[in-house]
Amino acid sequence: MASTMPVMADESPADSTAQVQSVTPSYRRNGKLFSCEPCRRGKLRCDHNSPVCGRCARRGKADQCIYHPAPLTKPRAENPGLGPHRTAASNPRLSTIGPYPTPSIENKQNGLVSPPSSTDTQQGKHSAFRISTSQPVILQTPDVEDPPDLPSLPADKIQQGAEVLSMLRDLPVYRKFTQRWFELCDGIVVLQPVFRIWIDELWNEFGRILAEGNPEQMRSLSELVWRNTRRPMRIHGSMTAREWAKSASGRNLRWEVVGVVLSLVGLIAVNLSNWDTIFDSIRERYVDRATFAERMRKASEYCLCFCYESEVLNDIYVCFMFEDLVLVECLKGDAHYAAWQRTGEVCDAIVAMGLHQGNRPGPECPFFLAELRKKIFVSAYGHDKVVATFLGRPPRLSHRYCKMEYPLDLSDDQLFSEGAELEAALLTLDRNGWNTQGCLNRTTWLRVWSQHCRLREDILEIALGSDDEDIERRGQEVRQKMDHLHSSGPAHIQITPEQILSDTSSPLGIGLPLKQKKEAMRQVNAMFVLCIHTGIIHTEFLLQRALTIRTRTDTKKLIPIARRMLKLVLLAQSRRDFFRDFQGDIIYLLALHGLPAAGVLAVELLIESQTRQYAPEVLPRSETIQDLSVFISALGSVGPGEGNYSICKQGRKALARVLDQILSPNPPPPVSTSGEQLILDDSSVLFPIGNDADFLSWLENVEWDKNNWIDQPAPSMAGPTEPPVQ
């Protein structure tokens, strides 16, 4: 049927039909109307009004409200992008990453960042991202030869780099994420002022090129970054932190810095809640928080591969590797093989650089870099112990071959300072390196955490060792070290999480400007204190569990520790709205601290129910059942998009089965083969597995409704178990 709309003299009927369909919704094959493009992409309900739907009219997007005649039709891409067929041909490691779905470089009309107008440039508006007007039309790479031992740079690598760099066109949006994080605390490893210099120098130098996305200019920029990365960084003892930062950004931009930016933005996104308003600025392009964080991870992974091909080994690269490791764990889970693999790569790089042999200022290492290297080492060392403890595997870094040097308790701004300001900051430290001003910096938590991880290595030797002699003596030595560590700590880390959450006038600070909101300071202070105390009680839990397994003693000493650890986790969960900027940390507490404690308490309750041997002074039955019920509900709040979702789902299923069996009416007492009631005195029933990951698997697979699980426990990883009591 011919169109009834009038046809302009200079357009064909086909063009007229397309115009009609662009403003009038058509019908799908199921009889329903098509939604307009903004509503369809945002997965929002459209009222199908023409020419502008009501939602677009309210949101001020009338110019974008069109009804596409075939919205799911994708144009054939001339540039296939970063796919496996490209990467596999040149680097086997890249082939494991898979395609990287970056938007086409030529597609600029939907970009989040628009090039600044000439009026803004002429007026010189004050902005942290003011774009330099002195850039050439085509970026010229410096006339510097590549290292002779590296192959020449192929064109496909330059193109891959250009597509990764296209992600930086949204750098002003990424800066909102980093500002949000740095208002709360210091950087994860990289110093906060250094990171700010990196992104400011990057955007001031290449902002126009990134915003415009011209393919030829992007390839020239990619070639420049490749050449910079293939050249070693020059460091000397009198180098300042500002000079060091500028030597890796701007015209000296390297893939390590690009990777740090992308991975840190992804980490910040993971820790924020799904309903945070900051995601409104990225929703149209990245859909949601999980998609945005995964996109950042894939982009940073390509930067890792670029560094690998360039044979890079420097301080920024190791910082980048560690931040990427944390991002992988947040998205894939702590039990994922990728996390274990990345941990090994970080440890290998640290050993190759010699960071495990001590880091002191000298002719080739300035003071700030020596402290940064200490932070890198203790972060990797502690992380190695956490993963080894959870999986029950030997650690990669041993204190026997490392020089344990802990970073001074200084904030990032203090460490970045120079001259008299730095000297004044050093005078605020005591002889053990703790700050005396009562500030909770990120380094404060890092010092406590890494020192307890040193004790966990001794605990791993007890739990995984084959020597059965002097187990109790070795356990007593570890306990003495633990008591000494607690008594030697500063007073401001002795405050309990309950105190800081209940006291709104807490004097604790985190070394941040006074203009920061008081509520935000309380949020960070409470999270730091909560993580410190949860880590301390978890170390005690690991020690007592190892002693219980190896010496086959009763669990009376372990139950109070497990109850305290579960209480701390439930406290964090109950204030989840308060910890709005630390959602990833809450999930970490649930998975790696709460589940081991809850599993111990649940099995102990079931043993009491089936043996009728109650000990209310050690394990209050009603209170513990309530805590377990709340904890199971908390595990259910972890969604599929979270990295530790599989761990939480597995633990929730196992604990629910145990709790159902506990609450079932009149559970029959277990009997032995001779018909007598079974009396339990073998702790291997409670701990058939010596690590958290396998313990969760055992919890899930045991047939709790059959009493033979008590007198036929699973084989122990900690050694042969005694025969069941007859």
Helix axes 621-636, 645-663, angle to 10 degrees: 150
Q: What residues pair up with 429 in beta bridges, in sequence order?
A: 435
**Same domain assignment for residues 491 and 606:** no
Sign for the pseudo-dihedral over CA of 225, 227, 229, 234:
negative
Q: Are 347 and 397 in contact (CB under 8 A)?
A: yes
**Same domain assignment for residues 216 and 344:** yes
- Nearest CA to 635 out of 689, 597, 580, 581 is that of 597
Per-residue confidence (pLDDT) for residue 723, from 0 to 100: 35
What is the three-class DSSP state of 29?
Answer: coil
**Same domain assignment for residues 311 and 228:** yes
- Domain hosting 508: range is 406-553
**Same domain assignment for residues 582 and 647:** yes
Structural domain ending residue among the three candidates 503, 524, 553: 553
Please give the single-letter amino acid code of residue 452: H
Structural domain ending residue among the three candidates 490, 518, 553: 553
Q: Are 462 and 545 in contact (CB under 8 A)?
A: no
Per-residue confidence (pLDDT) for residue 360, from 0 to 100: 87
What is the three-class DSSP state of 429?
Answer: strand
- Cα(644)–Cα(635) distance, rounded to whole angstroms? 10
**Same domain assignment for residues 353 and 445:** no
Token duo for residue 165: 């760099």
Q: pLDDT for 27-52, tens place per residue?
A: 665 667 778 888 888 778 888 888 88
Q: What residues pair up with 33 in beta bridges, in sequence order?
A: 27
Domain presence at residue 585: yes
**Same domain assignment for residues 175 and 312:** yes
Q: 63: domain CATH number?
A: 4.10.240.10
Q: How many domains does the chain have?
A: 4
**Same domain assignment for residues 443 and 414:** yes
Which residues in 537-557 are b (16+ Cβ under 10 Å) and which e? Answer: bbbbbbbbbbbbbbebeebee
Domain presence at residue 204: yes
Domain presence at residue 188: yes
**Same domain assignment for residues 366 and 452:** no
Which regions of the chain are under pLDDT 50? 1-23, 74-138, 140-144, 506-516, 667, 670, 672-673, 677-689, 700, 702-726
**Same domain assignment for residues 440 and 548:** yes
At residue 367, φ and ψ (nearest 5 deg) are -60, -45
**Same domain assignment for residues 280 and 362:** yes
Residues with Cβ within 8 Å of residue 510, at least 6 apart in sequence: 185, 411, 439, 440, 441, 521, 524, 525, 528
Residues with Cβ within 8 Å of residue 326, at least 6 apart in sequence: 188, 267, 383
Structural domain ending residue among the three candidates 553, 580, 606: 553
**Same domain assignment for residues 240 and 321:** yes
**Same domain assignment for residues 317 and 220:** yes
Kind and range of the H or E run holding 697: helix 692-701
DSSP 492: G
Please give the single-letter amino acid code of residue 407: P
3-state SS, one letter per residue, for 530-566: HHHHHHHHHHHHHHHHHHHHHHCCCCCCHHHHHHHHH
- Cα(418)–Cα(415) distance, rounded to whole angstroms? 8
At residue 365, φ and ψ (nearest 5 deg) are -145, 110
Domain presence at residue 613: yes
pTM over 0.85: no
Q: Are 370 and 191 in contact (CB under 8 A)?
A: no
Domain presence at residue 453: yes
Domain presence at residue 192: yes
Domain presence at residue 447: yes
Kind and range of the H or E run holding 177: helix 171-182
- Nearest CA to 659 out of 594, 704, 713 is that of 704
Per-residue confidence (pLDDT) for residue 520, from 0 to 100: 65
Domain presence at residue 712: no
